[in-house]
Chains A and B, each alone.
Chain A
């Protein structure tokens, strides 16, 4: 047992990889391979629960740290660590894993073993990305993740899958190669690939701007931030359901995670310089995503564009640069992972039955599939931010953080604009639900559709449960991440000068004599619990 708990992060990260390798042993037997893969992902989830229960939230730093020299004389090391932010994202990943594998039981019928192997590889790459504390290690996982996802979209996807897969691959590469140059520059400056050694560099202003731009581009493409989002709808629409779920649920978060973990703390002056532009892009993304979603005839595409909108919120929250907004951003990552993941699964359910996703093909589904309609409704409500469900906490906190942000110009205007995005979001989602589920059951093809099977219920219920749990008890997550967020943002503190001259009375110590006080004290966040 000690062997496992001492290297828990390694185990969590690489158990799926081992599973992927072991899948070769199954030959052509698909049934056992499925069960085995499911078991592997469950084991991984159980292992990651160890992290959850042994994580000390009273410390904001990295825990369960593992560090072994890898390249050079320890200049580059195999260094894993887990703070609150990594914890919740890693848990989201391992939590979605078994659900996704279970969801593919009927959907993936060709080359099953290969699919499962690629999926497990993807798990390893994603977990490694969230847990790596060495820049090169991070980059390796970050890029390695492309390979399985590329195959998943390209082999098991829809009509234009190859186009979507290549586009996905190239777009992501475009961003990351420039980040690689940035990493190499930092490596040269500090002589080490350790994240902490990068933090101690005193980079000159100009270098910070360039580096921030290079890093931000890589992450912004991943998120995706408007106008770099064009790969996302293609990838989502063409990917198989499982691919979409993991894409929306986890992969997109790697972008926002990267911003929070690397781009922001490493280059405070870059943040100060670019934050207004970034937040404007985020607001545009929120509204643009909602408007485009409004006119989509295809349910999956609609959900895909809603992701653009929701991730806009996350970015806005992060760049509001106060702990409220950032905490909201992190929370929203989680909430979006649950609700959009569930929505994609639900879209997959109907696609399996009807092989179409056109909204106009449906109508009145609630009559024949009441359970399905209920589940879909809950996921929708969670997605649009109904109080009591997870989405509300994230969006509301982000809006609050933005509204009170001292560093964004016209922060209040932005918050208000973003709030209209919430309204639009509610509108297009509910409108879609109305067209699909209510009204007359006109289309004969829909008259005999079976409702959810027990397997589908098992897949969806955990997601729905957590939407409620996080909605009513957000502290469950916020407690874990609070200190970590403060620690991550600490390097920014000294560098930022508040934008609005007078400061806000609500913010202790803020704004006086230009004294930087970027972090709201906990009291604000605590009000929410």
Chain B
């Protein structure tokens, strides 16, 4: 089988969809975070694939590197906030934390 751009994009799309599904369906804050990470990585695959097949340059790879770094930073901040939330509410379940509705 000749692996080309469409294959990578398909993998990216599937990953993105899985991440989306995780964000939508998970109740646990950490689960949601993982879904977001999955979505970010889906775009990383796309970046690298486009970089390889369309442009033959490193732009996309640089972009991917930035995304990885920022995703790590985001995860750090996110965990800190989830921790704060856990302290205040005693749970990390997004459905339970609903004190602000009216």
Are chains A and B touching in the complex at the 8 Å CB cutoff? Answer: no
B contacts, CB < 8 Å to A: none
